[in-house]
Amino acid sequence: MSAVVLKVADLRVSYRRSGGSFLALEGVGFELIRGQTLAVVGESGSGKSTLAYACAGLLTPEQGSVELLGRPLARQRAKDLRWQAQHLQMVFQDPVSSLNPRQTIAKSLAEPLLSVAGNARPAAAEISKRLAELIAQVGLRQDIANRYPHELSGGQCQRVAIARALANRPEVLICDEPVSALDISVQAQVINLLLELQQKLALSILFIAHDLGVVRRIADQLIVMHQGKIVERGPARQILSEPQHPYTQNLLASEAKLDFG
Ligand SMILES: Nc1ncnc2c1ncn2[C@@H]1O[C@H](COP(=O)(O)OP(=O)(O)O)[C@@H](O)[C@H]1O
Ligand SMILES: [Mg+2]
C-alpha cells in the first residue's frame, strides 16, 4: 500500500464576495505520508480552514484534486461519503459547539458507530465495549458517558471530539486548530494526547495551527501558508531551526511557548 494517504494537488478555491470574488487558496498541493503529522501553519485568514474543508470533501475546489488512500474524493454518492467518513475524520477548533448539546457523551460517541452501513453495524454489547475503550483512550473517566457537553470543560469536550473522530478507526485525522480555543495550560495536554494516539494507532494527521509553538512538538513535515499560498515547506525540524521565508521568520519570532511538562 502506498505511503501517501492524502494527496492534494494544485488546489484553487475562491469565495464570492460583494465586491467580486476572493481567492482563498491557489496552487496548494502536498502529500501526507502514512503515520506522519503534516502541520499547516499561517496567520488567521491565510486559508487554512478552507484547505481543511477541501481535504475533507466539505467544499469542492474550482481546480485541483484531493485523493484519499488513492481514491479521488467524490461527494455525490452516499456510499462514497460513508467510505470517506470511515477513513478520514475532522476535529474542529471549538470543541463545545462540535458536540450536540442535547446528547449525552455516550450518545455522541455511539453515533458514528451506528452510522456504519449494513452488516458491519455492531451489536449493542460491542458498542458499549467500544465506548468504554474510546473514553479510556482519550484519558477521560468512564462516568463522563452520562454527562452533557455543557457539564464538561473545553479540554474534556475536545477529548470527546477526538474520541468521536476515532470511533471508526480512520487512517487520517484533520485537526483544524484543535487547541486554539483551549486554556493555554490545557493546550499541551491535548497535543500530548494526539501525539500518543498517533503513535498507538499509526494515524496520519493534518494538523492546522496559527502559531509555531503548537506544532513544534507534533509536526514531522511543515507547510507555511500566507494569503492562500504555500510560502515554505519541508521537514518541521529544518524549518523551525532555519526558516527561509521572512513570513516564517516572523512567525517564529512571535512564537508562544507551551509547557509540555
Ligand atoms: N464562506 C466564506 N465566504 C467568503 N469569504 C470567506 C469564507 N470563508 C472564508 N473566507 C475568507 O477566506 C480567507 C481564508 O479563510 P480561512 O480558510 O477560514 O482562513 P484561516 O482558517 O487560515 O483563518 C479569509 O480571508 C476569509 O475571510
Ligand atoms: Mg481557520
- Ligand 1 atom with least separation from CA of 42: 22
- Ligand 1 atom with least separation from CA of 228: 14
Q: Which amino acid is at 220?
A: D
Residue nearest to atom 12 of ligand 1 (CA): 24
Distance, in Å, from the CA atom of 37 to the CA atom of 195, rounded to the nearest integer, reads 9
How far is CA 19 from each of CA 16, 22, 94, rounded to the nearest angstrom? 8, 9, 30
Q: pLDDT tens for residues 109-124?
A: 999 999 876 667 788 8
Residue 42 Cβ contacting ligand 1 at under 6 Å: yes
Report, as ranges of residue numbers, the positions in the chain whose pLDDT lies below 70: 1-2, 117-119, 256, 261
pLDDT at 118: 64
pLDDT at 122: 83
If one residue of 11, 12, 14, 15 were mutated to test the ligand 1 pocket, choosing by the most ligand atoms within 8 A of its CB, it would be 15
Indicate the pTM of the whole model. 0.94
What strand order describes the sheet that includes 4-17?
20-33, 4-17, 63-68, 71-72
Q: Which amino acid is at 98?
A: S
Distance, in Å, from the CA atom of 219 to the CA atom of 200, rounded to the nearest integer, reads 16
pLDDT at 239: 95
Q: What are the extents of the domains in the chain?
A: 4-97+172-253
pLDDT at 185: 85
Architecture per CATH, domain 4-97+172-253, reads as 3-Layer(aba) Sandwich (3.40)
Q: pLDDT tens for residues 151-179?
A: 999 999 999 999 999 999 999 999 999 99
Distance, in Å, from the CA atom of 231 to the CA atom of 84, rounded to the nearest integer, reads 29
- Ligand 1 atom with least separation from CA of 210: 22
CA of residue 130 relative to chain centroid, distance: 22
